[in-house]
Structure 1
């Protein structure tokens, strides 16, 4: 079976349907003067390192001074939580110039110098604010883009308004924070003012949810709206991802009520963080890899390494776009910018119902790589050992 091959650059083309496993295409070049050849093409996705960033890119002197944890972005600015020996800090990184613009360790509020007293667990950009949660039971609010300090939820006492918040998201004017014991504390953004510095009280607090346990090991957690009005929240010790319904949070809600939906996603490992794209869900966890699921919750790929980098201990993964994911690798103290690329195959041999053998494929750099196998149902490259 002889076909031609065409490579598509990062997923910016909206003219093709990524959800189809195969597609009949009648390609036309110029005016139609005679019938064109019909052919069947297949899509696949690949992952490559775009860039890696270590202490040098952050303007630090030694490797041990830098260890990236959770990240977030707004425009061309990447916010990086540094938990290295340089001290707990928030690095503002310019994605265009690939350099650190500023490192935030301390600030002044009401004439007093303040600082991050512990590791940063969560960073959330919401409207004109940046929320930064630290292990020491504080959630700080800064203005965007000026990064002026606004206020703080919590006073550092874990039995008070914040219980070591380990994941945070914001929806419809409410701040959702995952407490160390698995409960979810909810605060009103309107309460976070300079006048209520360390005096903001919980608006509501939900139950732990199904099968949850305390996070005494301080494993990474993450929460985010799923695009359908719900909130997904990793539950490390419960080996699951919870599905929360924020519409259950009302003035009439009683303390300790559940806001979990009966849609808990049980996983074969303990999840830490995830990145949602249009086609896949990338999940990090106790398997020290990136596990790729489709939106039917079917596992389609496990990334232990990608061209240019081998993962050792992945704590956080963050979606900048469907084409760019940021990965924090703890043991190597490296922040990896990972690219997701989409290609169309027109030169292949059919192996079985779902597998094709690609004779040659053009990489992002324009080079041609050797044979590979692709599962045309999941659109992922598969290990030859899984085929033979």
Structure 2
């Protein structure tokens, strides 16, 4: 069989004593046996999923060593040249891509020195943000066929000595982001430094800061490159001293913003918002993450320090000043361009640094000042939609228990040293929280029991633990305990919730700093925890704080960021209770108003503030705890009747269960393995009652 195709013939070109055999084409009739096979195709073709551990690595990764990060030859760029590409000494196509956004449909063209036409050397369907790539040139290992720009096919014969001296390369890409950045005239060089490592430079710049600094400087450079920005700056008067009549020439301002062929050496400051001047450009961590419109829309320190880098001090309106000063004019324009999706990197969602970057302590979740929606962003983070509550365990499953726990069940305990405060159970474990105090001496503990055949065996009195080489204890009076099967949570009045492995009882982390406050890593005391569906709900003095269970790591110790929260109620230092029903409704008691508030937590939006659902459930007595099972709601009250069932729709009493057990002072309860576990503070006991008693 014969087909019409192009016949390859060989041409020999000599460079630097290296022979390259190039074949080009003429039209002719050849047999199938002479056609180039697929294995002969030389193009490096990388698909969207083609970046693997063997050919690529993250650039400016969180674990990047200082000797790389602060090596200007290894980590630096011209801000309008995010792709640094070459043929390296290892005969590889090698590049570093510093783009904070992906780039799509990028072609690399090669040209043999002495041969007129370029040929397609490589094509990348998509290049991920901050990627380092390398791949051996195929023609160094076997003869390969390439297509030229005119459509001809050429064969480069195997040449193990092929090098950068033999090839010129160029890049072609019509990706919107890539063109936006590479076509702007702003060409500042960006480098990174740890500076002195002391004083205001005590905490070095981290890779996450470096990634964000590139995003900001790209944005700033693009902004300064626009005629609209020049017109805006020309509409204001700027001066370098305290005399507004002594103005800086407008062209001087415009020229200095562009910083032609200049350099900025990025660093991280602590104790001060920023330091700048000449090439020095440092800001605090909060500024690295907050400059986007859909963060806190605060870029003023970046522009303040840039004013110093432009050569101006504090004695004019180039760094300080009112709404007509340089810093504020630039901040407003930057935010507007971010909101309008004009900037190259217009949203914090591209990098997700708060959530994904290794930082010193910035809040992981922060409400957006402005919401920016976009399909490309949705593809990155799943979209601005609520995260659904995960699967909930069924507390009615399992073998019910009928037993009582008092001080006699605990080795070494006395009636005075054991005062049960709260109780929870999971699997064959029962955990009892003890807040006893005798003549000023505390006996705080978690008493851990193992159950078999309806009988309990005391396993441990958890009173202290080791973390980071130090011994810790409960830092305040314990208030609540909960278990999600994997983790054990212990709340205490000193605004902290300690988290342990439920089986090994090893300490994992702490939620809350130990100092009360409204910050994203703080609670206002801590009274109660509900852990379910991949979330942790901690009731404090004002509100319910909601956390993502995935954030409970040792590295996040006392810095676990609040994912969302409920609306605040008035403060009261009382007993609080909470639980979640099978439909994803959170019930919380509010003793001062004799109410129970309900919240729909079946889907939770990051950084949201959840209002109560409808009208609060009003009771005639003061509620102190609540438990849910089988669409039923039991409530503990601080006066008789101590235990009732209410209608979850309106809070009216369905039944009084005083006859089930004569509680003297019922406080905290929980439901697990078809059993109601309840603390009778008056009798200083924990009682387990099968749920069949409540039929």
TM-score, length-scaled by structure 1: 0.67
> Is the alpha carbon distance of 1:280 and 1:207 closer, same or farther for their aligned partners in structure 2, counting shifts above 3 Å?
closer
> Which of 640, 644, 669 matches 1:291?
644
Instruction: Please state how far the C-alpha of 1:191 moved relative to its aligned partner.
Output: 2.3
Structure 2 match to 1:91: 447
> Is the alpha carbon distance of 1:155 and 1:260 closer, same or farther for their aligned partners in structure 2, counting shifts above 3 Å?
same
Residue 156 of structure 1 aligns to a residue whose secondary structure is coil
1:191-242 superposed Cα distances (whole Å, 9 cap, x missing partner) = 221112112232333312xxx43122xx221222111022111111121111
> Which of 190, 214, 219 matches 2:571?
214
> Is the alpha carbon distance of 1:172 and 1:295 closer, same or farther for their aligned partners in structure 2, counting shifts above 3 Å?
closer
Structure 2 match to 1:190: 550
- Of structures 1 and 2, the one with the larger relative CO (CA 8 A, separation 6+) is 1
Residue 274 of structure 1 aligns to a residue whose secondary structure is strand
Instruction: Please state how far the C-alpha of 1:251 moved relative to its aligned partner.
Output: 3.1
> Which of 636, 640, 655 matches 1:301?
655
Where structure 2 has 5 or more consecutive residues not aligned to the other structure, the ranges are 1-395
Residue 537 of structure 2 aligns to a residue whose secondary structure is strand
Q: For structure 1, which segment, 79-88 or 104-113, has the greater mean C-alpha deviation from structure 2 after superposition?
A: 79-88
> Which of 535, 542, 551 matches 1:174?
535
Size of the alignment, in residue pairs?
286
Instruction: Please state how far the C-alpha of 1:294 moved relative to its aligned partner.
Output: 4.9
Indicate conservation of the 8 Å contact 1:213/1:237, yes or no.
no
Asked if residue 266 in structure 1 is aligned to residue 266 in structure 2, the reply is no
Structure 2 match to 1:235: 590
Instruction: Please state how far the C-alpha of 1:295 moved relative to its aligned partner.
Output: 5.1
> Which of 497, 513, 517 matches 1:155?
513
Structure 2 match to 1:100: 458
1:99-121 superposed Cα distances (whole Å, 9 cap, x missing partner) = 32111000000000011122322
Instruction: Please state how far the C-alpha of 1:259 moved relative to its aligned partner.
Output: 3.0
| Alpha-carbon distance in structure 2 between the residues aligned to 1:318 and 1:153 | 22
Indicate conservation of the 8 Å contact 1:213/1:238, yes or no.
no
Indicate conservation of the 8 Å contact 1:88/1:117, yes or no.
no
Greater percentage in helix: 2
Residue 550 of structure 2 aligns to a residue whose secondary structure is helix
Structure 2 match to 1:62: 414
| Alpha-carbon distance in structure 2 between the residues aligned to 1:61 and 1:147 | 20
Structure 2 match to 1:281: 633
| Alpha-carbon distance in structure 1 between the residues aligned to 2:655 and 2:549 | 39
Greater percentage in strand: 1
| Alpha-carbon distance in structure 2 between the residues aligned to 1:304 and 1:240 | 21
Indicate conservation of the 8 Å contact 1:277/1:321, yes or no.
no
TM-score, length-scaled by structure 2: 0.39
| Alpha-carbon distance in structure 1 between the residues aligned to 2:644 and 2:532 | 27
Asked if residue 335 in structure 1 is aligned to residue 686 in structure 2, the reply is yes
| Alpha-carbon distance in structure 1 between the residues aligned to 2:672 and 2:616 | 26
| Alpha-carbon distance in structure 1 between the residues aligned to 2:562 and 2:513 | 13
Residue 592 of structure 2 aligns to a residue whose secondary structure is coil
1:318-371 superposed Cα distances (whole Å, 9 cap, x missing partner) = 22244x2122111211112223446xxxxxxxxxxxxxxxxxxxxxxxxxxxxx
| Alpha-carbon distance in structure 1 between the residues aligned to 2:507 and 2:584 | 29
| Alpha-carbon distance in structure 2 between the residues aligned to 1:282 and 1:68 | 20
> Is the alpha carbon distance of 1:250 and 1:239 closer, same or farther for their aligned partners in structure 2, counting shifts above 3 Å?
same
Structure 2 match to 1:165: 526
Structure 2 match to 1:204: 564
Q: For structure 1, which segment, 288-297 or 257-266, has the greater mean C-alpha deviation from structure 2 after superposition?
A: 288-297
Instruction: Please state how far the C-alpha of 1:249 moved relative to its aligned partner.
Output: 3.2
Where structure 1 has 5 or more consecutive residues not aligned to the other structure, the ranges are 1-10, 13-48, 343-378, 381-388
Structure 1 match to 2:128: none
Structure having the higher Rg: 2
| Alpha-carbon distance in structure 1 between the residues aligned to 2:566 and 2:610 | 5
| Alpha-carbon distance in structure 2 between the residues aligned to 1:66 and 1:301 | 32
Q: For structure 1, which segment, 74-83 or 277-286, has the greater mean C-alpha deviation from structure 2 after superposition?
A: 277-286
> Which of 116, 122, 126 matches 2:484?
126
RMSD: 2.5
Residue 505 of structure 2 aligns to a residue whose secondary structure is coil
Indicate conservation of the 8 Å contact 1:55/1:66, yes or no.
yes
